[in-house]
A and B are shown apart, each in its own frame.
Chain A
Amino acid sequence: MEKFVRLIDTAIPLSISNVDTDQIIPARFLKATDKKGFGENLFRDWRFEKDGSVNQKFVLNHPEYKGTILIAGDNFGCGSSREHAAWALVGYGFKVVISSFFADIFKGNALNNGLLPVQVSEKYLNFLLKEVEENPHTAIEICLEEQEIRVQGSHCSEKFEIDPYKKVCLLNGYDDIDFLLSKKDKIKKYEASL
């Protein structure tokens, strides 16, 4: 897994709440047997019209918005457990998703793929959305070590929470399989006690 330490970039504002994983990647694209190519179909039915033409109204298609940070409304990633949603976001190029609330399974899937879910207060989310909507060049800085997010050139920052174990994993690019395999003896002992 890729390391995540610090990121400074512009962001794309998606001010919709309850974005479910069926919107992030519709089920008809889940037929692949590897992790590649899902980025092409990220938000497929919002990005494209049914005839395949580009939906100019959707924010990912606005030329003024670029960047590897997605700012989304409350309860992002609810619904299906499909990790394909995280693969699609990473495949498209996102490194961070900011929301005021994440669904459990999505949050875990994101962390397992080096995609950092940054949970901020509702107030700070609205501030970020407003800043970026008004000025698409707004740069946002995310520092994992300090667990802090700030708008560059301003004093407006906020601390965010992350599981300390997951923080170490992301900072070092470790994954859970390595860790679990290091617990082999304890697992064997547990199995013997059954």
Chain B
Amino acid sequence: MGKTLFDKVWDAHVVDTIENGPDVLYIDKHLIHEVTSPQAFNELKERGIPIARPDKIVATADHNTPTVNQHLPVKDELSRNQLKQLERNCKENNITLYGLGHKYNGIVHVMAPELGITQPGMTMVCGDSHTSTHGAFGAIAFGIGTSQVAQVFASQCLLMQKPKSLRVNVNGKLKKGVLPKDVILYIISKLGTNSGTGYFCEYAGNVFEEMSMEGRMTVCNMSIEMGARGGMIAPDQTTFEYVKGRKFSPTGEKLQEKIAYWKTLATDEDAVFDQEYSFDAEDIEPMVTYGTNPGMGIKITEKIPESNDKSFEKSLAYMNFSKGESLIGKPINYVFIGSCTNSRIEDFKVAANFVKGKQKASNVNAWLVPGSQQVAKQIKEEGLQEIFESAGFELRQPGCSACLAMNDDKIPEGEYCVSTSNRNFEGRQGQGARTILASPLVAAATAIEGQIIDVTKYVS
């Protein structure tokens, strides 16, 4: 029987197998940030265990950083302490850190791919569930807890039970105005938030083959929102072109060797998946969520479904929405374009394209938070900053920002926010805040109109 993309990468990294137990999996790259690493550093220190391979670790500060005045000392004492601790831990252990203000600083899942740290065929982990993003390159990448961060520190390996395999196929032609974010929100709305639990997902079909690397990252990023530990897309010419020429990418002959290997990774034709789903691209439309988990999504033109389930009703009560209601015309006061899902240059280009020559509605606070310093630089150099600023949008400095609202970027209680992030959980963007997940296009259109509009009419 043939092997899947996942099998090929996994098998190449198994150091040892425990009978009736997990595999010892070798980790090629370990990404860390300030929030989920300090307890792991402490644990090793307390037990007198050295960090096995500091050269395979890259650190950034992103979750708990301000998005204004990054050149000044961080105001919040606890946050400042957490950032200092990361600096100290990296220095003591010889770990590369792209801290606040560094030209390579950014959200871990934006900066690592753009620096060429992420490469096909790798195993990658980070104490963050959206590590699944890097699967866009055909890497096995997944989020881990802090105990596991400590395990990788100690051994450069992880004990992992091999997950089951799942493939999601989307074929056909996407409609105008349908973005990668809509594709993944659509998939999750159809399959639910726990359909992928216990599985590693592969996305296949011409829709993903034709997507840019940015789009593929958006899709793989949200794999965890259907419960899958990770999502992958077979590396192809688009992947190789993206990787080529980046700071940490291989060059010359080494690159050619690597590409030859990466080309062998695609799933064999006779491989069998434990679970497989297929969707038609034509059925997908711009999406919005109406509830408090990412599976509660509808096409922007649809109405909120009817259900008497207790948790469903609790969710609608939190959102202050009613069954059978349409979201079109809902007044919105906050728009957030950012997060590891949608803060890459392509996302800002889509938004700028819509915004150009228009003015944001006066009721709207529109926050744009680039995923990295490099994206911020591109926004400036490519003239997008001017478009956004003259439309009244607020361009902030890179970081996770209002996606999880650990810093001051919080949505006030009771307010709706149309957000390009990945989670609409209760209180995710601030206590009592109500999140509506959407693509950068829907977010930009909402900012201009001050309400949710049917973008399908606009783009056609």
Partner of B146, one of A80, A83, A103: A83
Contact flag A22-B428 (CB < 8 Å), given A28-B405, A104-B227: yes
Q: How far is the CA of A187 from the CA of B39 in the complex (A)?
A: 24
Stretch at the interface among A13-21, A62-70, A120-128, A142-150: A13-21
Stretch at the interface among B155-163, B344-352, B357-365, B385-393: B155-163
Q: How far is the CA of A151 from the CA of B425 in the complex (A)?
A: 33
A18/B227 in contact, CB under 8 A: no
Q: How far is the CA of A35 from the CA of B194 in the complex (A)?
A: 28
Contact flag A165-B229 (CB < 8 Å), given A16-B314, A31-B82: no
Tell me whether B439 is interfacial, beta carbon within 8 Å: no
Partner of B39, one of A17, A34, A176: A34
A22 contact set on B, CB distance < 8 A: 404, 423, 425-428
Q: How far is the CA of A175 from the CA of B150 in the complex (A)?
A: 11
A104 contact set on B, CB distance < 8 A: 163, 197-198, 227, 229
B386-427: CB near A (< 8 Å → 1, else 0) gives 000000000000000000111000000100000000010111
A25-50: CB near B (< 8 Å → 1, else 0) gives 01110111111000000000100001
A186/B21 in contact, CB under 8 A: no
A16 contact set on B, CB distance < 8 A: 310-311, 314
15 contacting pairs across A/B (C-beta < 8 A): A18-B293, A20-B425, A22-B428, A26-B427, A33-B81, A33-B85, A34-B38, A80-B128, A84-B146, A105-B129, A112-B148, A163-B22, A180-B159, A186-B15, A187-B52
Extra contacts, 13 of them, besides A31-B79, A108-B144, A165-B159 (Cβ < 8 A), are: A22-B423, A22-B426, A22-B427, A45-B426, A75-B193, A112-B145, A112-B147, A112-B148, A180-B154, A183-B15, A183-B16, A187-B26, A187-B155
Q: Could you list which residues of chain B lie within 8 angstroms of chain A, going by C-beta atoms? A: 15-16, 18, 20-22, 24, 26, 35-36, 38-39, 42-43, 47, 49, 52, 63-64, 76, 78-79, 81-82, 85, 127-129, 143-148, 150-151, 154-157, 159, 161, 163, 193-194, 197-198, 224, 227, 229, 293, 310-311, 314, 404-406, 413, 423, 425-428, 431-432
